[in-house]
Amino acid sequence: MSTLNLTRAECAARGADIADVSYRIVLDLGNAEQLRVPTFVSRTTVRFTSASGQTWLDLAAEELLGLTINGVPADVSEYDGARIPLSDLRIGGAENVVSVSAKCRYSRSGDGLHRFFDPDTDEVYLYTHNEPTEARRIFACFEQPDLKASFDLVVTAPKDWVVRANAPETGRTEGEHSMTVSFAGTQRFSTYLMALAAGPYHLVEDEWRSGDQVVPLALLCRRSQVPYLAVEEIWETTRAGLDFYDEHFGTPYPWGKYDQIFLPEYNIGAMENPGLVTFNEAYLVRGEATLRQRTARASVILHEMAHMWFGDLVTMKWWDDLWLKESFADLMGYQVTQEVTPFDSSMLQFALSRKAFAYHYDRSPSTHPVVADIADLEAARQNFDGITYAKGASVLRALQELIGRDAFFAAARSYFSAHAFGTATFADLLAALQQVTDVDLASWAQDWLHTSSPSVLTPLPSVVEQGASERAPRRNPSLTLTQQCTDRITGRSILRPHRLDLGLYAVRDGALTATATVPVTFSDDAVEVPIESAVDLVVVNDGDLDYGLVRLDDRSRETFVAHGSSLPNPLTRAVVWSSLWNECVDAEQSFVTFVDAFCAQAPLEQHPMILESLGSFIAEGLGSYLPAAERDRQAARAAGAARAAYEQADEGSEQQRAWATACALIGEHTDALRDVLATIATGTAPALGGNLDLRWRAAQSLVARDAWTDEQIEELLRADDSMRGRTEALSARSGRPTPASREAVWARMFGEEQLSNDTQRALLAGFARSGARIADFGEAYLAMLREVWTRYPQSMAERYVRAMPAPDLAEGDVDSHPFLRQVGQLAEDPSLPEALRREIALQLDDAQRALRAQAKAARSGGEN
């Protein structure tokens, strides 16, 4: 095993040995504008105590220049590129002082210290991203979350740059061409949270006040992105969030200042660095943002803000408890957005999109308990997934309902008070929660947090009512609700405690009317629920307070397809749409049923958040869950519904923007929207011409249908001559559905060129749109899997693994598909790294699920 891959056991031993850590970090970035120079000089002084007298420092550098231990020069020959052995240290509580100087490499992958050349302005920008263990690419450190430390940072950079870090600037010395900036010493936090940004950033400043507390605020972005920086909206969200957390968490904001910076080529969505929160600049929408985009930006702002307490103030001891920060922050992001911002549809987004993220991982071979077993760093990297974030958030939301909202926040306040600036484990959190409730939380946690796979909740109608159809009976006054779950890891049957609402609805005068809401609490395999009168639609988990895959009975499904848009509550509609989608993903229903519902009900739907989610679902299903013989017909049906709704929507309305987005997605799968997409892509569509991102998405679908030329791409690029425009143009060209184009894109993806995150993502997205099939690229895909894991950073390697060409039912079913058999053999190959095998297994499961869905639609003959 590479010594870069730290294990839980060795870090636990080091954590028990080392204490009282502090860092002084001196970075010379004066050469950053010279792109031909690949490295910078890092000098680190580490102070700590050691019980054993020997340990190691983590450093991933190009060259170790020097090492002194307690003032004595030390041999550097044993440095292996990842670890610096330290021996003959002082023990007995005496302080050790270790100084390390090294040449470290500027990154192009988004890890460590990333250097970006802005072609829009010929400027260079730097920023850091260190989670989970990339700080060692910048300075020598003890790279594990439990060894929290204070940080004293000094940076030399070009004279006219803006330089920001976790703490406020305390002084600077200016030379002829450069300056040296000193920052205040920080409170204690983990190495992965150390942050720095340097470059000619645009800077906007303000402040937030609460009583006597004054927190300086700042927003930063590239200068070319200033027109898209929604300053007042972001300030409004930021202040509302700080007000909420200040009131509910009981600990004043702990990090002095609060900077938020939007970054190019960022390899994740955002990161919670104390005092300097980093965001992907994709959150700066180029044009009038949709409700979904604005809500997503608000929720991610409030997610990262929650981390200032959950994660930064109190940090998990090891990555097993990653959920201690991510599940809480995920819930807070959506819940607080719903409660304190104008974007009160946040929980709709959670129900439709975020839970789909959870179910995708939880039903797959990659499932794991929320409280995971993380043996090493490769496993830790892969657990930033739908279970750690969205399932954990869903379960915590259910916990809020179980013990009460006030008790939940009282436990949080106790937890912060007890462990401020330290680390914690699940047991610490459970103790804080148990103090505020009589509910047996140990048993609850065992059922929900220590098991894997989703429960399946199914309503079973009772007796057929006189005169009703045998296929879709109306219900007599009772039904049985069942739960079933087989833990995919252990094979055990799991029965969990559920608290949810059954929404009962009847069709009256052509519309659905609520007749009753029945609260249900059960932990057995089934519970009988009395109903006062016959109903047409039962909504299991109405209000979305529980977690589990919900099945619809025949009557409810048919009623929703006929009348779903008339449900009075948009969250109820979202819950049923989610249920119908999951039935199709699991091949319980033909995807044609989803198309039926989309065509009948989506044009009547008024909520733009639901419309945008439905557009994403329908496009994914058209590409994956239908046999080849059905794709054109069903895509044309969906396109007809989308076109009609788009044309009938009020000009400039949220609904029109939502339908335009849906048309852009659906248009990738059919020629029926060419004219609509052409007006959007060329900017001639009323009220949509200023949205550059939407124009590019429409253009990319046109290219995927071979309906746009390279000259038309160039014309749009002239209207958007920017780095982001060039990336979108690359993605468009990469999606041309010709053999020659696909071969060229594949060759570039795996050639010698050092790709940035944005370039890689653009090529992969285009390749997927081009319709590449297994018959043409299956063998090439299998051949590249071993190479990418050693050649690329793990985040980039995972994207390549996810580029598996789509399977077709005609090539073989789930059991006989020859290519998938080969993939399955790789997923079980013990010579491959465990993290790679896990990713391969996930792609295999997605492909098998697609084939099962295609087979279901084929057996149904185009209808269910």
pLDDT tens for each residue of 337-380 = 999 999 999 999 999 999 999 999 999 999 999 999 999 988 88
Question: Is the bond preceding 132 in cis, omega lying within 30 degrees of 0?
Answer: yes
Task: Tell me the mean pLDDT in the region 265-276.
Answer: 96
pLDDT digits (tens, 9 = 90+) for 294-321: 999 999 999 999 999 999 999 999 999 9
Overall size of the chain counted in residues: 864
Q: In 391-537, which ranges are continuous DSSP H helix?
A: 392-403, 405-419, 426-434, 441-449
Q: What is the pLDDT of residues 722-747, one digit of tens each?
A: 999 999 999 999 999 999 999 999 99
Task: Report the pLDDT value the prediction gives residue 249, as an integer from 0 to 100.
Answer: 97
Give the DSSP per-residue string, 768-807: HHTT-BHHHHHHHHHHHHHHHHHHS-HHHHHHHHTTPPBP
Pairing assessment for the beta strands 314-316 and 276-280 based on DSSP bridges: unpaired
Task: Delimit the domains of the chain by residue range.
Answer: 1-200, 227-256+264-452, 456-582
Active-site amino acid positions: 304
The pLDDT of 37-48, averaged and rounded, is 98
- Report the candidate in 597, 598, 608, 539 with the shortest Cα–Cα distance to residue 567: 539
**pLDDT above 50: residue 113:** yes
Give me the mean pLDDT over the 80-86 stretch: 96
pLDDT in tens, 377-390: 888 888 899 999 99
What is the value of pTM for the model shown?
0.95
437-464: average pLDDT: 91
The predicted model gives 20-49 an average pLDDT of 98
Mean pLDDT on 444-463: 92
Predicted local confidence at residue 862, as pLDDT: 57
Q: How high is the pLDDT of residue 809?
A: 85
Q: Look at residue 471 in the predicted model and tell me its pLDDT.
A: 53
Residue 101's pLDDT band, with cuts at 50, 70 and 90, is very high
Say what angle helices 692-704 and 654-666 make with each other, to 10 degrees: 30
Task: Report the percentage of the chain scoring pLDDT > 70.
Answer: 98
Would the pLDDT of 633 be above 90? yes
pLDDT tens-digit series, residues 576-588: 999 999 999 999 9
pLDDT band at 573 (very low <50, low <70, confident <90, very high): very high
**What pLDDT does 794 receive?**
87
Q: Cβ neighbours of residue 860 under 8 Å, at least 6 residues apart?
A: 590, 592
Read off the pLDDT of each residue in 482-497 and give the average, rounded to a whole number: 97
Q: What is the mean pLDDT of the chain?
A: 94
Non-local CB neighbours of 82 within 8 Å, separated by 6+ positions: 2, 3, 4, 58, 59, 60, 136
- Residue with token string 């959150």: 283
Task: Please tell me the predicted confidence (pLDDT) of residue 461.
Answer: 80
Contacts of 718 (CB under 8 A, 6+ apart): none
Residue 1 pLDDT grade (very low, low, confident, very high; cuts 50, 70, 90): very low
Distance CA 503, CA 789 (A): 48
Could you tell me if residue 131 is left (phi over 0), alpha (psi between -120 and 50 degrees) or otherwise beta? beta
Q: How many Å apart are CA 269 and CA 280, to the nearest integer?
A: 5
Instruction: Compute φ and ψ for 793, nearest 5 degrees.
Output: -55, 155
Residues 6+ apart with CB under 8 A from 759: 727, 730
CATH superfamily, domain at 227-256+264-452: Neutral Protease Domain 2 (1.10.390.10)
What's phi and psi for 650, nearest 5 deg?
Answer: -65, 140
Q: Cα separation of 140 and 48, whole Å? A: 13
Judge whether 802 and 845 are in contact, CB under 8 Å.
no
- Going across the sheet that includes 498-508, the strands are 511-522, 498-508, 537-540
Q: So what's the pLDDT on residue 463?
A: 46
Is the predicted pLDDT of residue 518 greater than 90, yes or no?
yes
- End-to-end C-alpha distance for the chain, whole angstroms: 51
Residue range 467-480: mean pLDDT, rounded: 59
Q: What is the mean pLDDT of residues 208-217?
A: 96
155 or 469, which is more confident = 155
Backbone angles phi, psi at 638, to 5 degrees: -60, -40
The one-letter code for the residue type at 125 is Y
| Separation between Cα atoms, residue 131 and residue 274, nearest integer Å | 13
State mean pLDDT over 52-67.
Answer: 97
Listed range (393-402, 439-448, 813-822) with the worst mean pLDDT:
813-822
Contacts of residue 801, defined as CB under 8 A and 6 or more positions apart, other chains included, come to 785, 788, 836, 839, 840, 843
pLDDT tier for residue 774 given thresholds of 50, 70 and 90? confident
pLDDT on residue 598: 98
> What is the DSSP code string of 675-739?
HHHHHHHTT-STTTTT-HHHHHHHHHHHHHTT-S-HHHHHHHHHHT-SHHHHHHHHHHHTT--SH
Q: At residue 244, what is the residue type?
A: F
* Pairs from 229-233 (Cβ < 8 Å, separation ≥ 24): 229/202, 229/204, 229/262, 229/284, 230/284, 230/285, 230/289, 230/297, 231/204, 233/294
Say whether pLDDT at 60 is over 90.
Answer: yes
**Is 583 within 8 Å of 360 (Cβ atoms)?**
no
Q: Give the model's confidence band at 467: pLDDT under 50 very low, under 70 low, under 90 confident, else very high.
A: very low
For residue 73, report the phi and psi dihedrals to the nearest 5 degrees.
-55, 140
Confidence of residue 472 (pLDDT cuts 50, 70, 90): low
Q: Which helix (H) or strand (E) holds 461?
A: strand 456-461
Taking the domain 1-200, which CATH number applies? 2.60.40.1730
